[in-house]
Chains A and B, each alone.
Chain A
Amino acid sequence: MEVLTRLQKLDRRWIYLVLLVLISWPLFKPIGLPLRVSPLVKQSYEFVENLPPGSIVAWSVDSGVAVYGEQFPQARVTLEHLAKKPDLKIIVVHFWEQGPLFFNSLVNILEKSGKKYGEDWVDLGYIPGGEAAMAAFADDIHKTVPTDARGTPLSEVPLMKKVNTAKDIKLWITISAGTPGIPEYARQIQSRYNVPIIAGVLSQFATIYMPYVNSKQLVGMLGGLRAAAEYEKLLGTTGIAGKAVDALSNAHLVIIAFVLLANGVYLAQRKKIRS
């Protein structure tokens, strides 16, 4: 009985300690658990792979540093994929103010890819205004963004001579963490201009955005760190996501173990009271 009472009133610091140890350990000594690629991630990967040569892809980070751990790997792996396809043109644009800061850490992926700035890719920076900014950008890119992030007028950027509205964009990849986010993209970009969208989202939001996948408003979705690891596997690269997914497994196991323990204690207490 005393054991049951002690377990019921378990100091939460023991839970924190167990979780800390079991999450940290695989980061130093990876376990290397096998990773199955889910259909949704494969769908996203294949959509990019099958884009016709010369397609213009918009890539945006609409996220913040708070979710850096989960979304930075998604941003990195999607940008790496686009960079590996020499025939794709990339427009980098953000609707969150921290987007350019995310991109600062990843810009070398494009600079070292062999793609030429201005012809194969362009950075349009952050556009304030939320959904209104998205709508304005989709309707008339040149009027909304007169210069790129480096101060060059858009009329002098060779790539932007072929792009006037969202209709000219063949795929939009967004790494999204909130508002403006997927619903706003669905309203302003997808439904008005039929632009296919692949979204990298937090794992807790993947369940919320499943209806957009089932209605084909999203042609692919990366839900959380695990999806980034799966994408890395498809791309044949090793990144932080692949190493962290073992820690993710451990974290899930710890929580399940504690939940089962709590239920075991509860049932034992109830049995004791009834008898």
Chain B
Amino acid sequence: MVLSKQLGQLIAAISGLVIGLSGFINLPAVKVASQELLNWGVVLGAFALGLGFANMLKIHGMKMFRGSGSERAFSLILVGSMLVMVVVGLVQGIQSANYKFLYNSFLVPLDSTIFSLIAFYIASAAYRAFVARNIDAAILLVTAVIVMLGRAPVGELIWSGFPPVTDWILNVPNTAGQRGIMIGAALGAIALSLRILLGIERSYLGRG
């Protein structure tokens, strides 16, 4: 177990180093090695999809047999839907009429509907929480109203100045704030990458 962890760290360090160096050193050997490692990453990505599918089958398969009433039902529906899509996709192809029917008639409306519920939650949350209790909240509220009106066609009908003011808000204060966040996140990512390459960060190896 200790050896596998050390081996994992060694693989991570060497892979990261080779791919990182390929951006700075123009040696054919480094470029070829880096390209090969990236292609292995593509293969691993495909494998991860299959692993995810197997894991879902395992977890929900167990719930189907050992879970309580509604848990069993939902797991049965999930596993059933998964298997139907996989079988139809593999046997008839994803361009077949049956697969397109399943995708357009079930997956698209159901998935979009769940996501669309956010609009209703936002409206309800805005009514409860978007109250100008102090100066900061008031500034946030006014900015939000201006941007909402600037982004909707009806806002231009109310006042033609909403779109340019909205564009200014997005291009100036918003961009400045987002740049700060991005730079902070990038520095954090560099620090984490260094920790992984140097073997200090080992959480990706799992527990045990």
A and B: interacting chains:
yes
Residues of A within 8 A of B (CB): 10, 12, 15-16, 19-20, 23, 33-36, 38-39, 64-69, 97, 100-101, 104-105, 127-130, 132-133, 135-136, 139-140, 143-144, 192, 203, 206-208, 210-211, 214, 224, 226, 245-246, 248-256, 258-259, 261-263, 266
Q: Are A19 and B42 touching (Cβ within 8 A)?
A: no
Q: Are B153 and A19 touching (Cβ within 8 A)?
A: no
15 A-B pairs, CB-CB below 8 angstroms? A16-B124, A19-B123, A36-B156, A39-B167, A66-B115, A105-B104, A132-B42, A133-B41, A135-B38, A136-B41, A144-B38, A203-B151, A245-B153, A253-B154, A255-B122
Residues of B within 8 A of A (CB): 19, 23, 31, 34-35, 38-39, 41-46, 48-49, 94-95, 100, 103-104, 107-108, 111-112, 114-116, 119-120, 122-124, 126-128, 130-133, 141, 144-145, 148-149, 151-157, 163, 167, 170-171, 174-175, 178-179, 182
Q: Which residue of chain B has the shortest Cβ distance to A267 in the bound complex?
A: B132
Number of A-B contacts (CB under 8 A): 167
Please name all residues of chain A whose beta carbon is closer than 8 Å to the beta carbon of B127 when the two chains form the complex: 10, 12, 15, 258-259, 261-262
A143 to B116, CA, bound (A): 40
A100 to B112, CA, bound (A): 17
Task: Tell whether A67 pairs with B151 under 8 Å between CB atoms, given A16-B120, A104-B100.
Answer: no
Interface residue from B23, B35, B155, B171 paired with A140 (Cβ < 8 Å): B35
Please name all residues of chain B whose beta carbon is closer than 8 Å to the beta carbon of A253 when the two chains form the complex: 152, 154
A248 to B3, CA, bound (A): 58
A7 to B123, CA, bound (A): 15
A49 to B124, CA, bound (A): 43
Please name all residues of chain A whose beta carbon is closer than 8 Å to the beta carbon of B38 when the two chains form the complex: 129, 132-133, 135-136, 139, 144
Q: Are A38 and B124 touching (Cβ within 8 A)?
A: no
Please name all residues of chain A whose beta carbon is closer than 8 Å to the beta carbon of B119 when the two chains form the complex: 19, 23, 251
* Given A128-B46, A128-B48, 15 more pairs with CB closer than 8 A: A15-B127, A23-B119, A34-B153, A67-B115, A101-B94, A129-B43, A132-B42, A136-B38, A139-B34, A143-B35, A192-B23, A211-B175, A249-B155, A255-B148, A262-B126
